[in-house]
Amino acid sequence: MVPPKAPPSTANATELTSNTDENAPQLRLQDVGKQYGDIWGVRDVSLDLSPGVLGLLGPNGAGKSTLMRLITTYLTPTEGTITFNGTDIVDDPNTVRENIGYLPQDFGVYPDLTATEFLEYLAAIRGLKRKEARDRIEDLLELTNLRDARDRRLGGFSGGMRQRVGIAQALLTDPDLLVVDEPTVGLDPAERVRFRNVLSSLGEDRVVILSTHIVSDVEATANEVAVLSEGRLRAHTTPEKLLEDVSDRVWELVISQDELHSLKSEYLTSTTTRRTDGVHARIVTGSPPRDATPVSPTLEEAYLDLLEGTEEDEPGDEL
């Protein structure tokens, strides 16, 4: 297995704290913005990240992809600074490039190569010595549960297996920073669970940024959550704190099918389940109907409530 490099960071429900280990990797974004012509992809984004998994949430067009491209140095910020372990990545991009693993949403493979051949090829490109690469690949095949499939051609891999190869290639140089973009889209439930477990373990000794719109992935893996909307950072907190903020705003009631449309037009409705006694609907509101009963919130309901609040803000010029 890949040995841990540092203990994980901790964050309580009211305040995010940095890892006190001076050798732990640190990523800092300060007032970061990226402008495309007259449009801002992201603006005024500030984050301090140490080892752990950050779930980066936001609807399509929120600026998640722009932010990841800035962190991975594919783009240069229009304003603000990004530092990795104290070094400005614009002034010295190799500081982060040599220490980052990236799994894009559309990860491509060479279908005629086996998993081992593919990883050996990428290791050679990245300058790993043969013995170091061989040992590292052995560890990563074990970590990603691909040892038994190591000699199979990638063209015959399932989507989930390809994603696990993607994680393996991203970890070839044992990076301190790992960025993954929508890694579980299209995976079946069993593959998704396996992938989440891998991500959780990786966050113990490095900074992991998980960009997704699937809230359940964040709920299962992340110890911190950042929510982007229209290019702005709306929250950076713990899942526990996000749940606490909506703890008295989630309700359930039973209605008829005929009442469902009216309910959805009046309240933020998170889920509806049809049962023999009617439609069980969960709503998020501070002023519930008289016959509603309080229920424990989910992270998705907390996220939806936060986004609902941003719609009341003054419109800006961001994406």
Mean pLDDT over the full length of the chain: 89
DSSP readout, 46-71? EEEE-SEEEEEE--TTSSHHHHHHHH
- Give the tens place of pLDDT for each residue, 130-183: 999 999 999 999 988 899 999 999 999 988 888 889 989 999 999 999 999 988
Torsion of CA 62, 226, 164, 10, to 10 degrees: 170
Q: Would you list the domain boundaries of the chain? A: 27-243, 248-295
pTM (two decimals): 0.84
Question: Could you tell me which of 3, 1, 5 has the C-alpha nearest to residue 207?
Answer: 5
Check: CB of residue 184 under 8 Å from CB of residue 212. yes
Question: CA-CA distance, 111 to 289, in Å (whole number)?
Answer: 56
Mind giving me the DSSP string for 214-227?
-HHHHHHH-SEEEE
- Give me the CATH code for the 27-243 domain, please: 3.40.50.300
- pLDDT less than 50: residues of the chain: 1-15, 18, 313-319
Spatial neighbors of 231 by CB under 8 A, at least 6 apart, are: 40, 41, 42, 43, 62, 63, 66, 316, 318, 319
